[in-house]
């Protein structure tokens, strides 16, 4: 079996000059790549005590759901603003050119609940930081932030200082 990095297709100069775009869909398009990605993420949860997994829309759903299923835990979707039907809490965060907002249902996290946050990519850390703030605003305790890939050159870990952050693949640069 190949290493997970072998399933990642890199597109130079996308979406702009100087960026090496790491395409997570190339992992999903391979049965072996998908299986290996879930296996590698599961290994990073081996000794983590938690009650629930929260995943960011949309690729955090793709990777978080099988982890929750395999661990026998529930899954909390962290969605773009306006997509959830019940009462929500919202967090806004900075993007490169503007702001965005995410929400979770107000009753989805219980005080003291130990949560693992999952997403496909740690880049600037804005989405993860906002999601963690939402979880904590409801009394949840984020015990791990887990990502399939990390772009070290964008310094996302800086926004997540004090948290247990883990990534399967780390790339230098952006």
pLDDT in tens, 14-57: 888 888 899 999 999 999 999 999 999 999 999 999 999 999 99
Would you give the DSSP letter of residue 135? H
Q: What is the pLDDT of residues 121-132, one digit of tens each?
A: 999 999 999 999
pLDDT value at residue 18: 83
pLDDT value at residue 152: 95
For 157, the enclosing helix (H) or strand (E) is helix 156-159
Q: How many Å apart are CA 88 and CA 57, to the nearest integer?
A: 15
Given the residues 22, 59, 79, 129, the one annotated as active site: 59
pLDDT value at residue 16: 86
Given the residues 16, 87, 96, 172, the one annotated as active site: 96
pLDDT value at residue 20: 86
Q: Are strands 20-23 and 52-56 parallel, antiparallel or unpaired?
A: unpaired
- pTM over cut 0.75: yes
Q: Can you tell me which residue has the tokens 């693949």?
A: 169
Please give the full DSSP string across 16-84, using - where no structure is assigned: STT-EEEETHHHHTSHHHHHHHHHHHHHTTTT---SEEEEETTHHHHHHHHHHHHHT-EEEEEEETT--
Q: How many Å apart are CA 141 and CA 117, to the nearest integer?
A: 10
> Is residue 59 flagged as an active site residue?
yes
Beta bridge partners of 53: 75, 116
Main-chain dihedrals φ then ψ at residue 76, nearest 5 degrees:
-110, 115
> Is residue 96 flagged as an active site residue?
yes
């Amino acid at each position: 079996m190949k290493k997970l990095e072998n399933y990642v297709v890199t597109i130079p100069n996308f979406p702009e000059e100087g960026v090496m775009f790491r395409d997570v869909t190339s992992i999903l398009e391979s049965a072996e790549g998908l299986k290996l990605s879930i296996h590698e993420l599961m290994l990073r949860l081996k000794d983590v005590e938690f009650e629930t997994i929260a995943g960011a829309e949309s690729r955090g759903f793709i990777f978080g759901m099988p982890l929750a299923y395999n661990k026998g835990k529930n899954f909390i979707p962290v969605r773009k603003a306006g997509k959830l039907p019940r009462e929500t809490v919202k967090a806004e965060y900075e993007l490169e050119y503007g702001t965005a907002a995410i929400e979770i249902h107000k009753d989805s996290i219980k005080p003291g609940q130990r949560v693992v946050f999952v997403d496909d990519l740690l880049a600037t850390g804005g989405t993860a930081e906002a999601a963690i703030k939402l979880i904590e605003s409801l009394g949840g305790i984020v015990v791990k932030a887990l990502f399939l890939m990390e772009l070290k050159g964008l310094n996302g870990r800086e926004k997540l200082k004090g948290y247990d952050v883990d990534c399967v693949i780390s790339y230098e640069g952006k």
